[in-house]
Amino acid sequence: MKSGTTGAPVRFSTVGLPEAERIALWEEHNAETLIGLRCRSLQDAALDATEINLQLPRVHVARVLGSPHVVERPRAEIRRVPSDAVACYLNLAGDAFFYHDDGVRLLHPGQLLVCDADQPFMRGFSHGLEELAVKVPRAVWRDLGGPTSLPQPLVVDDGVVQTRTLATLVAQALRRESSASVDEDVLLDLLGSVVTGRAPSLSTVHLTVAKAYIDEHLADSGLSAARIARGVGISERHLSRVFASGGSTVPQYLLLRRLERARSLLQEQEGGEMTVAEVAARCGFGSAAHFSHRFKERFGLRATDVLREARSRA
């Protein structure tokens, strides 16, 4: 079932759909949003698959999870639904195989595979699928400096800092409420550095990793610039310079993300499970009064009013 709005991540899942219709609906969804594929479930089991899609101005990103299955992009499907794009698949869990004209590649968790989406291929996931995908239109690919042709897939091994950071950025984009909050330039800079081998902007990498670290530790009221710097592996002074280059400071960004997370939590409290004080604590505020003051200052609304409106929708 689908949920989402224009400019925000859209979720599609076969779970709960009639079993006889799942593969056809999954193929239809992928042809409309990502890349046209033929699908076959393994072991005669019904296909359980979920995809979260986000269309950015220049590229499309997705997170895909599924039970064991095989997908194929034969020439007939390419003619029916041409993509004129390059596909980048980052394997998150379990081994997968990629079969193309020149052989078979086995992909392990953490590896990134880049291929021409308009060349025939087959992919298999005998233990299930969990990956991040980026569909890059060919014109954008050329701007990145990517190879003009991809007769064979490119495979980037786990451990490359750009690949890990790219994965973090794509995952963050799919968690955000709106594509307006996604820095697509950073995403493309990282992808370009991965596929061309050129050195990325270290400030870009460090800033992205620092922001990811902050998001993962928002509930910790003791989170500080010193702790963030240690988590990223850079000096506190360099961390300050990195944030300054983006027009902010570490404390300003940390406060903004806590307030944004708190607003999201308050808007979700239709059932009234949490109080304003509990939301404040979950977002790393040591004082509910301080949180309420900052919230009103930032959004022009009282946190209690946002919570009351959410509960009125229940």
Run of H or E including 41? strand 38-41
The verdict on 148 and 230 lying in the same domain is no
Helices 202-216/161-175 angle, 10° precision: 50
- d(CA 256, CA 94) in angstroms, rounded, equals 36
What string of H, E and C letters represents the secondary structure of 292-312? HHHHHHHHCCCHHHHHHHHHH
Whole-angstrom distance, CA of residue 122 vs CA of residue 138: 21
Is residue 169 situated within a structural domain? no
Domain boundary among 105, 125, 158: 158
Q: Is residue 188 part of a domain?
A: no
Which domain covers residue 248, as residue numbers? 201-314
Helix (H) or strand (E) holding 262: helix 250-267
Q: Give the three-class secondary structure for 2.
A: coil
Q: Where are the beta strands (DSSP E) in 56-156?
A: 60-66, 69-73, 85-93, 96-100, 103-107, 112-116, 121-125, 129-137, 154-156
With respect to residue 58, please indicate whether it lies within any of the assigned structural domains: yes
If asked whether residues 226 and 133 sit together in one domain, one would say no
The total of structural domains in the chain comes to 2
> In three state form, how does the secondary structure of 45-79 look?
CCCCEEEEEEECCCCEEEEEEECCEEEEECHHHHH
Claim to verify: residue 239 and residue 314 sit in the same structural domain: yes
Cβ atoms of 190 and 169 within 8 Å: the answer is yes
Q: Point out the domain boundary residue: 98, 124, 158.
A: 158
Instruction: Note whether 137 and 18 are same-domain residues.
Output: yes
Per-residue confidence in pLDDT tens, the chain, 314 aa:
333 334 688 999 999 999 999 999 999 999 999 999 999 998 778 999 999 999 999 999 999 999 999 999 999 999 999 999 999 999 988 899 999 987 899 989 889 999 999 999 999 999 999 999 999 999 999 998 888 888 889 898 865 666 777 787 787 777 764 444 567 888 888 888 888 877 667 777 788 878 888 888 899 999 999 999 988 878 999 999 999 988 899 999 999 999 999 999 998 876 568 899 999 999 999 999 999 999 999 999 999 999 988 888 76
For residue 247, being part of any structural domain is answered with: yes
Rounded-to-integer distance, Cα 238 and Cα 272, Å: 43
**pTM higher than the cut 0.75:** no
